[in-house]
Amino acid sequence: MAENNVLLKISGVNKTIGKRQILHDISFEAYAGEVFGFLGPNGAGKTTTIKIIVGLLSLDDGEIYVDGADIRKNFEAAMANIGGIVENPEMYKYMTGMENLRQYARMRNGVTQERIDEVVSLVKLSNRINDKVSKYSLGMRQRLGVAQAILHHPKVLILDEPTNGLDPAGIKELRDILKELAHKERICVLVSSHLMSEMELMCDRVGIIANGKMLGVHTMEELISASSGDKKEYIICVDDIPKALAVIDIEESRKRVADGRIAVDLPAENAQEQICMINKAIVGAGIKLYTVSEAENKKLEDVFIQLTEDTQGGGQIG
C-alpha cells in the first residue's frame, strides 16, 4: 500500500451545531488505493464529518485537504477530486438515469458521453438507464448514485452508509465495485457504516468514531488480532448440553451456554490442542457432537461495541 500518498487529510476538525458540539478534534488520513471504513454507532458523527468533507456543512475550525487542496480556500479544486453519496441516493425522479447523469456531467469538467456509458456499464445499469428514476429500486438508485459519484474520475470517493437498504446480493455487488475501484484504479474510497461485519469484508483500514471523537484508526489485521487477543472462542453444538458442560475440563469462567450452544474460550497458544481434547472428551462420554467451529466475527463486533462504549460511557448521541 502506497501509504505516503495521502489523498484525504482531516486534521483537528471541530463542529458545533446549536449548543452541542458534534465533532471533537477529528483527525485522520486516507490513502490512495484503499477502502477506508468510517465506523461508529448511529449518531456518532459519521455523516456530519462526511458532510463537512464534501462541503455541505461548514467547519468551525480545523483543516481538510483533498489531494492537497484546502476545501475552504480552494473549494472547486478540492471538489473536483471528490465524488460521493451522502445519506440517500435521491435523484431527479422525473428524469431518466441517463438524464440525471448528464446533469452531473455538465457540472464537472471533462466528462464525455463515452465516460458516462462506461460508468453505466460498470454499475450494471445499461439496460435500465433510459428508464425514469421513479421506476428504479433502491438498489438501482444506489448504483446510479455510485455512477454519479465516479463520473469525473475522482481521486476520493465518499459513500455514506452505502449498503443501507440493499439486499445481500446488492451489498456483495457494491463491495466488489468498491474494492475494484480502490485496488485497481487506486482511488481512495471512504465508506461509513455502523456495522463492523460489513466493514470487515470491505475495508483495508477502519477509523472508529464515537460520540464525536476519533477513537483510533486500525488496519483490519490489527482489529482481528485485537479481537482474539490471547484467547480463541469456539462454538460447540451437542445434543445434551449439561452433560457436555460437565465433561469439558476447563475453568468455569471460560465456558458458557449461548443460544443453545456451548461457547468456550481457549488460550491462543494451544487452542487447537485443547479443542482436540474437548472434542475427544465429548465423544468419549457418548454425547452426540454435531459441530465445532471457530467464532471470530462476533468477537470483532464485540471489540467495536466495547471500544465505543468504553469511551462514551454507553451513551449514544441522538
Partner 1 sequence: MAKFFRLVKNEYIKTLKKLSTKIMLVLVVLAGLALAGLGAFGKHQMSSDHYYYYTESDQNYYQDQIDWLEMTQPDGYENQIVLYKYLKEADIDTSDSRYEVAENLAGIFGGSELEGYLDSLFAKNDWKTVCGALKDNAVSEGEKWAYQYRLDNDVPFGDSWKDEAIEQAAQAKTAMSSENTEMLSADEAEQYQELEESEKLALYRLENGIELNTADNLSLFETYEADQVNFWTVFYTSASMIPIIGLLIIVVAGSSVASEFSQGTIKFLLINPVKRWKILMAKYFTVISLGYIMLALLYLVMIPAIGVFIGFEGIGAPYLYVDNGTVCSISSFVRAAQMYLLNSVSIIIMATLAFAVSSLFRSAAFSIGITVFLMLAGNTIVSLLKAFNQDWARYLVFSNTDLKSIAEGTPIFAQQTLTFAIAVLVAHMAVFILTAWDGFVKREV
Using CB under 8 A, list all residues that contact partner 1: 17, 51, 54-58, 75-80, 82-84, 86-88, 90-95, 99, 103-104, 106-109, 145, 148
Q: How far is the CB of 15 from partner 1 (least distance, A)?
A: 10
* Nearest alpha carbon to residue 258 among 228, 299, 314, 211: 299
Beta strands in 73-120 (DSSP E): 82-85
**For strand 69-70 and strand 61-66, is the pairing parallel, antiparallel, or unpaired?**
antiparallel
Closest to partner 1 by CB, 11 vs 103, is: 103
Closest to partner 1 by CB, 128 vs 141, is: 141
The answer to whether the beta carbons of residues 250 and 274 sit under 8 Å apart is yes
Closest to partner 1 by CB, 80 vs 171, is: 80
Rounded Cα distance between 273 and 59, Å, is 55
33-62 in b/e form (b: 16+ CB < 10 A) is bbbbbbbbbebbbbbbbbbbbbbebebeeb
Which residue is listed with cell 469538467? 109
* Nearest alpha carbon to residue 148 among 189, 190, 90: 90
Q: How far is the CB of 55 from partner 1 (least distance, A)?
A: 7
Compute the 3-state secondary structure of the chain and give helix, strand, coil in percent, each to the nearest 5. 40, 30, 30
| Neighbour tally for 134: CB within 10 Å | 12
Q: How far is the CB of 71 from partner 1 (least distance, A)?
A: 11
Closest to partner 1 by CB, 51 vs 175, is: 51
Closest to partner 1 by CB, 86 vs 116, is: 86
Instruction: Collect all residues with Cβ–Cβ distance below 8 Å to 201 and sequence separation of at least 6.
Output: 175
Question: How many residues appear in the chain?
Answer: 318
Q: How far is the CB of 142 from partner 1 (least distance, A)?
A: 13
Closest to partner 1 by CB, 107 vs 226, is: 107
Closest to partner 1 by CB, 113 vs 272, is: 113
Closest to partner 1 by CB, 82 vs 264, is: 82
Q: How far is the CB of 61 from partner 1 (least distance, A)?
A: 16
Q: How far is the CB of 59 from partner 1 (least distance, A)?
A: 11
Q: How far is the CB of 72 from partner 1 (least distance, A)?
A: 12
| Neighbour tally for 315: CB within 10 Å | 12
Instruction: Collect all residues with Cβ–Cβ distance below 8 Å to 256 and sequence separation of at least 6.
Output: 262, 263
The answer to whether the beta carbons of residues 131 and 18 sit under 8 Å apart is no
Which residue is listed with cell 438507464? 129
What secondary structure does DSSP assign to 244-264, as a single string? HHHH--S-GGGEEEETTEEEE
Closest to partner 1 by CB, 41 vs 89, is: 89
Q: How far is the CB of 272 from partner 1 (least distance, A)?
A: 51
Q: How far is the CB of 304 from partner 1 (least distance, A)?
A: 28
Rounded Cα distance between 218 and 42, Å, is 20
